[in-house]
Amino acid sequence: MATTTANVVVDDAGRLSATAGFVREQDTSVLLSRVLPGLDGPELRALTDRCSFAHAALLVFPPDEQTLRTELAACGLPADARPQPSVVVRERLAARCGRPAADLDVRILRPEVRGPAGEHRAVEVFALTVPPGSGLSGIAADERGSDHEAHLAFDVTRPDPLVLRGLLESFAQHGAAADGGGYNPHEDGTVFYFTAPVGTKTPYGRVELYASGDHRDVLTEHLGRRPAAGPARQRGETQPTETLLRLLTGAWTTQALAACAQLRLPEAMNRQSGSGVPELARTVDADPQSLGTLLRYLAMLGVVSQGPDGFRLTDVGALLDAGAPRSMRPLALMYGGPFYQSFAHLAHAVRTGQPGFEHLYGENHFDHFARDPELTALFDQSMVSSAPIFDPLPAHPVLTAAATAPGRPRTVVDIAGGTGELLGRILTAHPALRGILLERPQVLEAARAHLAATEAGARCEYRAGDFADVPPGADVYILSRVLHDWDDDFCRAILGHCAGAMPRHADLLVVERLLPTDDTPSLATAWDLHMMCNTGGRERTADHYARLLEERGLVLVGHTPLALGAHALHARRA
């Protein structure tokens, strides 16, 4: 990670602050795709299932321990942890600078931070105390400039030897080279370091896999990895072909997941003891041989696992169970059904600028769904499948301020709020707030049923209407995953209705995924293609939204990250 600008060394406090900000913002799946360019969908999902982003690390050189604690506190990092010896970094530093390891008392702290969805993460801080005038000052200057110990780390979820070897092989196949590692007896953990591959899209040149426990046998294999010229050249020649083949078969993955949901395999499978193919085939009324083929493919994707007692669900596969909390079964049926069929007309959408969905069905998807109650219900349920986006939103400062404002109860309007998933969460988190849900008449019935089962239902009013019917005089207005359905002209109309209804003091929260301003992989980039083909809408950058807001007399105050690549954009009247 670069730490110099115009030959001026960035101080430790600035480096700590930048690292903490990076850790707070990253999504594991997106970060892995940036670290290892070329990961395809199935392999990326498999890696995400087996490891999670845990921390970013840096080596600092405070003059004393109190200075370090002051700098940590200034970055919003807990400063009360007791430092532990860092065996691995001490030995690496000693080898680089030619000093005895005993002269380098490198300590490690891991102040905790939270990820965008509330994940427990840390900033891993290696610290070597360098008092003013110390003979170690030259080492500190060199290390700050080179940042040899700056790295990203992923925790291995289930660190058995088989999983570890598979992860190490995946990293190696995508160009990450073994770069040391070690076993730390002070915390009973094994680290595996890699040099990031050429083309990595993060500022970090090193990557760590961390596995709890003593895995020195696997570590020995890792440290001894030296690919021969012949096989390496052969892999380099075949990798583009293999990569393209994997990309071309992405449609098979979508349909395999949809078939799993359609057959209700998750409901039929025993997660504890496993289920044999003949038993499952009888339960779901399927051909045993064909079902076995599907299950083996699902095992490759990490949706199920195969053992001596048969197949069982993984945590990923459990999300396709209709009875699971936050089930994603409706989303699998939508993506494997009408949206999948419309993607066959993607080339038409690109040539003409008209959605593939309209070309296939002869009408836009909202009108098409409105005429089919079952499809409408499935679509609304699929929207709830992405509810983790909403987890951090009730704590947004705009909502907290409205809930604690003195005087009359404040009102939140959720415009096109579906079945009330988000509004229900907000009202539950803030008993002082009242809510208004504006939706199509055919959706309000499901919303009433959903919210009536919660304490929030008694504080919610239901309004049937469209965007021209935004209720005036409320305190907070919400547009969650609405604007990306529409082109710029229609977005301006929606925002105009909002601006016309908003009192001077009111706030507007827009929940959308934001396109990156560079070539960084993102969920928004994928959904941009989806919206183009299915709704005629698009994802946008923050600046694009700011322009749309400005054209309707609103100003973008700022935006904060949520889960699954989403952001909450805060706007007010200009």
Matching residue, tokens 């504080």? 459
List the structure tokens of 365. Answer: 């998807």
Catalytic residue among 151, 430, 484, 530: 484
Matching residue, tokens 């003195």? 406
Matching residue, tokens 């009202």? 427
List the structure tokens of 33. Answer: 């795709």
Matching residue, tokens 């931070």? 113
Q: Tell which residue, 548, 539, 425, 422, has the closest CA to residue 493.
A: 548
Q: Virtual CA dihedral for 509, 512, 513, 515, nearest 10 degrees?
A: -90
Phi/psi zone of residue 516: left (φ > 0), alpha (ψ -120 to 50 degrees), beta? beta
R_g over Cα of the chain: 26
Query: Dihedrals φ, ψ of 95, to 5°?
Result: -65, -35
CB 419 within 8 A of CB 450: yes
User: In whole angstroms, how far apart are CA 480 and each of 175, 387, 548, 567?
Assistant: 39, 11, 16, 10
Query: Dihedrals φ, ψ of 182, to 5°?
Result: 175, 170
CB contact set of 298 (below 8 Å; sequence gap of 6+): 256, 257, 260, 265, 304, 317
The β-bridge relationship of strands 411-415 and 434-439 is parallel
Cα–Cα distance, 571 to 476 (Å, whole number): 10
Q: Tell which residue, 570, 564, 526, 522, has the closest CA to residue 545.
A: 570
Q: Tell which residue, 353, 274, 280, 284, has the closest CA to residue 314.
A: 274
Phi/psi zone of residue 418: left (φ > 0), alpha (ψ -120 to 50 degrees), beta? left
Q: In the chain, how many H helices and how many E strands?
A: 26, 20
User: In whole angstroms, how far apart are CA 281 and each of 289, 291, 321, 482?
Assistant: 9, 7, 17, 41
Matching residue, tokens 């493919």? 297
The β-bridge relationship of strands 107-109 and 84-85 is antiparallel
To the query of whether residue 567 is one of the catalytic residues in this protein, the response is no
CB contact set of 531 (below 8 Å; sequence gap of 6+): 484, 485, 537, 538, 539
Cα–Cα distance, 498 to 508 (Å, whole number): 8
Query: Dihedrals φ, ψ of 518, to 5°?
Result: -130, -160
Q: Tell which residue, 520, 511, 524, 479, has the closest CA to residue 497.
A: 479
CB contact set of 249 (below 8 Å; sequence gap of 6+): none
Q: Tell which residue, 286, 329, 254, has the closest CA to residue 530.
A: 254
Cα–Cα distance, 76 to 279 (Å, whole number): 54
Q: CA 490, 493, 499 angle in degrees (round to 5)?
A: 145
> Hey, which residues are catalytic here?
484
